[in-house]
Amino acid sequence: DGVTEVRVAMMADKPAAPTIIAVGSGKGGVGKSTLTANLAVALKRMGKKVGVVDADVYGPSQPTIFDNKGAKPEARDEKLVPVPSRHGISVLSMGHLVEPGQALAWRGPMAGNAMAQLVDAHWGDVELLLIDLPPGTGDVQLTMLSKFKPAGAVIVSTPQDLALIDAQRAANLFDSGKVPIIGLVENMSGYACPSCGEVSNPFGTGGVEAASDATDIPFLGRIPLAIDIRTSSDAGEPLAGSDSPDAEAFHAIAGKLAA
């Protein structure tokens, strides 16, 4: 009958919920947001429809990296509408909801609820939703695990032991929530001096790969410490949108995620 036909048509119009990939780290400042943004841009270049949720209460940086700072997302039918960026990637960030610094004072459940609103938004035809989690293993992570079922998690760490111990803790949390860990990424690995070309390792090197060997969690790749990775993020132009050699690692890791 007609009613059933309308219902079937409405169901067909309703986009499938995006596949969620969480990006986590044990500590702040190891490059989780940088990795999330660059993977999103690299996946977009591969033809995927990508969205980014920035759930990092302590330092929402995606509005800067995607150059849509100050944008205020609209709400439709009590759900947020993601903010477009000129990179063809829609973004919803804690930074779009509150003034910089304000979210820091939020208690855990508030931050968890805010994250849930960012994820449960009008993502339209987005296939892959990357979530930039706050560092550590707090309420936002627990809400993520209980309310949404990420298809997998990527954990980023710098190579030194202390960062790795915390990264292991983050990995354990996903593991206990039965979220498969897609793999570990080593960031800030190896610095090539721009004037003489000599490679040094300010944070050591190889530590994350060794941890991956010891835990049987796949190793996804190593991202160099490179000035253009930082300057491009600050300028609202994630480096993975370019053919810079320093962006190759992002493209390689995105290829593994897309597979």
Indicate whether 208 belongs to the interface with ligand ADP (CB under 6 A). no
Binders of ligand ADP among 70-109, rule CB under 6 A? Answer: none
Q: Residues at the annotated binding site? A: 26-33
Among 188, 211, 240, 257, binds ligand ADP (CB under 6 A): 188
Q: Which stretch binds ligand ADP (CB under 6 A): 95-103, 112-120, 142-150, 229-237?
A: 229-237
Are the C-beta atoms of residues 185 and 253 closer than 8 Å to each other? yes
Residue numbers in the known binding site for ATP are: 26-33
Closer to ligand ADP by Cβ: residue 128 or 223 = 223
Q: Is 61 in the site for ligand ADP (CB under 6 A)?
A: yes
**Rg of the chain taking only CA atoms, in angstroms:** 18
Question: Which is nearer to ligand ADP, 49 or 222 (by Cβ)?
Answer: 222
What is the DSSP pairing of strand 79-80 with strand 191-192?
Answer: unpaired
CA atoms in the 13 A half-sphere facing the CB of 178: 3
Sheet holding 19-24, edge to edge: 90-93, 50-54, 128-132, 19-24, 152-157, 181-187, 219-223
Name beta bridge partners: 109: none
The identity of residue 98, as a single letter, is: V
The residue count for binding ligand ADP (CB under 6 A) is 18
3-state secondary structure of 220: strand
Q: How many whole angstroms separate alpha carbon 69 and alpha carbon 227?
A: 22
Q: Does 187 bind ligand ADP (CB under 6 A)?
A: yes
Residue 230 near ligand ADP by CB under 6 A: yes
Q: What is the nearest approach in angstroms of ligand ADP to the Cβ of residue 27?
A: 7
Binding site for ligand ADP (CB under 6 A): 25, 28-34, 59, 61, 187-188, 223, 225-226, 229-230, 233
